[in-house]
């Protein structure tokens, strides 16, 4: 069964901490995405990657960075966490040429910044 | 700018009813339209994907339609069941991006 795995379901961190969210997929997908989901705002794209070591900014990249050293793994980094980054974070992946079709999602990480 | 709207935000129906969920989009340069299901505290599960050249897709009790000229898509659920209770999101695929609606939260009452 195909799978996108996010390392933590729930995470609590403090303001100013550096936070790492990890995502691993076992489908050999080229494209990987990070979204955040907030009530009333829907899903918003933070960053995406279409190949190893490649990254592209999404709609709301400020305060975030990403790393893709291996095809199966895409990490989201909050350089200095702030309370407005409290949210549900969702990782997704898709095959090459399907930038507009993220079809497989992980279960999400609910991140609280105190 | 692409915008995707889903109305109503919440819907409650008795078990067995047929129902329609609505999705409106503003960008006519649509590549595809996807419907997802999201259970509480979980990620999204893809239900149906309609390419821009298609008018509808069916899977079991689900049927999704796409009308590009009016900027609308509908998800029809036949003979609803309590297990259908979830939030349903539509997403418009454009050039190198996907825009999501905010979802309709469906409750099917036994």
Query: Quick one: DSSP state of residue B19?
Result: E
Q: Among A45, A92, A100, select the one facing B31 at the smallest CB separation.
A: A100
Whether the pLDDT of residue B99 is over 70: the answer is yes
Residue A45 or residue B41, greater confidence = A45
Is the Cβ pair B97, A100 closer than 8 Å? yes
For chain A, the maximum distance between any two Cα atoms, rounded to a whole number of angstroms, is 39
Query: Quick one: DSSP state of residue B31?
Result: S
Residues with Cβ < 8 Å from B5, sequence gap 6 or more? B23, B24, B25, B101, B102
What is the predicted pLDDT for the residue at B96?
75
Whether the pLDDT of residue A88 is over 80: the answer is yes
Can you give the length of chain B in residues?
A: 110
CA distance B20 to B45: 19
Span B27-45, mean pLDDT?
90
What is the predicted pLDDT for the residue at B84?
98
What is the predicted pLDDT for the residue at A13?
97
Q: Is the dihedral of CA B40, A11, B102, B38 positive or negative?
A: negative
Chain A CB contacts of B50 below 8 Å: none
Chain A CB contacts of B103 below 8 Å: 42
Distance from CA of B15 to the nearest CA of A (A): 27
For residue A89, the chain B residue with the least C-alpha distance is B43
CA distance B98 to B110: 35
């Amino acid at each position: 069964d195909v799978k996108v795995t996010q390392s933590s379901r729930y995470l609590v961190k403090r303001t100013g901490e550096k936070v790492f969210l990890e995502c691993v997929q076992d489908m050999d997908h080229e494209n990987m995405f990070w979204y955040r989901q907030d009530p009333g705002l829907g899903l918003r794209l933070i960053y995406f990657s279409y190949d190893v070591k490649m990254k592209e900014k999404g709609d709301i990249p400020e305060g975030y960075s990403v790393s893709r050293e291996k095809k199966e793994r895409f990490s989201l980094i909050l350089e200095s966490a702030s309370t407005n980054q409290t949210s549900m974070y969702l990782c997704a992946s898709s095959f090459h040429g399907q930038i507009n079709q993220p079809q497989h999602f992980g279960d999400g990480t609910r991140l609280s910044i105190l | 700018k692409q915008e995707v709207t889903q109305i109503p935000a919440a819907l409650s129906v008795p078990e067995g009813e047929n129902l329609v969920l609505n999705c409106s989009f503003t960008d006519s340069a649509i590549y595809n339209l996807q419907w997802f299901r999201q259970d509480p505290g979980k990620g999204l599960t893809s239900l149906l994907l309609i390419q821009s050249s298609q008018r509808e897709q069916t899977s079991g009790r689900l049927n999704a339609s796409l009308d590009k000229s009016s900027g609308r898509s509908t998800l029809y659920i036949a003979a609803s069941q309590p297990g259908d209770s979830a939030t349903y999101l539509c997403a418009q695929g454009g050039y190198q991006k996907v825009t999501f609606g905010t979802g309709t939260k469906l409750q099917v009452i036994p």
